[in-house]
Amino acid sequence: MRPATGSALSREMIGNAYSTISYRAADARGLGIVEVFFALFGHTPIWMKLILIVRNAAARVFGLEAPTVTKS
């Protein structure tokens, strides 16, 4: 792999590089893996919620059964 022109990384650093993806939870003591998973990934972004609302509305127009928006 060649470094980009003007790169601050040396060829050796790029050659030895590896990638990992990790997440950190502030305090997971006492929680099971399922609770930690939903604490990290259980929040849906607003744009995704809006897309699902539009999709469900379109499905209902074509006679398909789809969930409705409810406020709790």
Task: Give the domain extent around 45.
Answer: 11-61
**What is the rounded radius of gyration, in angstroms, for the C-alpha atoms of the chain?**
22
The C-alpha atoms of residue 51 and residue 56 are separated, in whole angstroms, by 9
Q: Give the 3-state secondary structure of residue 55.
A: helix
- The yes-or-no verdict on residue 38 having pLDDT over 50 is yes
**Residue 68 located in a structural domain:** no
Select from 53, 51, 50, 48 the least CA-distant residue to 66: 53
**Residue 48 located in a structural domain:** yes
Predicted structure pTM score? 0.42
Domain count, the chain: 1
Q: Give the 3-state secondary structure of residue 25.
A: coil
**Residue 6 located in a structural domain:** no
**Residue 3 located in a structural domain:** no
Q: Which two tokens stand for residue 5?
A: 């022109």
Least confident of 2-6, 32-36, 48-52, 53-57: 2-6
Q: Which pLDDT band, with edges at 50, 70 and 90, does 62 fall under? A: very high
The C-alpha atoms of residue 54 and residue 68 are separated, in whole angstroms, by 11
pLDDT at 3: 45
Average pLDDT over every residue of 24-36: 73
**Residue 25 located in a structural domain:** yes
